[in-house]
Structure 1
């Protein structure tokens, strides 16, 4: 199961979109995701610098990968909120 975290993120996004009334501020959610990704990427790069300068390349790559993964998870969460809002609209219309 290679995509367990991604599936869980979408499901949580659907639940969040369904339970929170009204439309979500998706732009703010994306901004928070980017900010968290930058912070985590910098932390892991900084840890690599503190351990040993030889790990600079490795820690930079790890930081970049974590940044990309957090952005991907934020986008999947936002996609889940779209689905949750759609389900909320359909359940109220019925």
Structure 2
């Protein structure tokens, strides 16, 4: 598996603008988008079996945007759900 990667707020803002996010009117902020991009790297080089993005920042951003368009706090909810699941399964 490839080395872990993450995006900075500046990178996320720039990528968001590139894919059409209007930050002044978006129902989510740059940090929620940045966090989502980091999460969606699970679809990249991290795991060859699930790699569909090759860590391409724009593709990763589009996946994050799709989720945030469903629920503007998608990644906050995802984090809570994963924490709850770890507790329930005794892996926390």
TM-score by length of 1: 0.29
Q: From the CA coordinates, give the structure whose radius of gyration is larger.
A: 1
TM-score by length of 2: 0.29
Larger relative helix fraction = 1
